[in-house]
Amino acid sequence: DALVYDALVSPDVVAVAQGAELFYAGKRGGQPSMKQDDINALLVRLARQGRRVVRLKGGDPYIFGRGGEEALALAGESIPFRVLSGLTSGLSALAATGIPA
């Protein structure tokens, strides 16, 4: 129902979420961006509305991704969630070039 995505997610990937309401929550150094507390509040608000929410991040959500803070915010509100870890760029780069890790 809702996709909250960051700056590292390809527009091609976002386009797959047909029918979902899109919320950009990306952060780029030196550019205006949502504060983490606001992202946490958005996730909680969308879930409280009974919507299915995907928080999509590029790479692993716990390595520089603040996934832990978002998970704690949801857990603190007794909102059930699942985390599907991505791959760090170091491992992904190896796989993309065919070099075994």
CA distance 36 to 42: 10
The sheet that has 2-5: what strands, in order across it?
A: 21-24, 2-5, 53-56
Report pLDDT for 65: 74
Q: What is the set of active-site residues?
A: 6, 27
**Domain regions of the chain by residue span:** 2-97
Report pLDDT for 39: 96
Query: pLDDT 10s per residue in the chain (101 long)?
Result: 999 999 889 999 999 999 999 999 988 778 888 999 999 999 999 999 999 999 998 777 777 778 889 999 999 999 999 988 766 667 777 777 877 75
* Fold of the CATH domain 2-97: Cobalt-precorrin-4 Transmethylase; domain 1 (3.40.1010)
Report pLDDT for 101: 59
* Whole-structure pTM value: 0.82
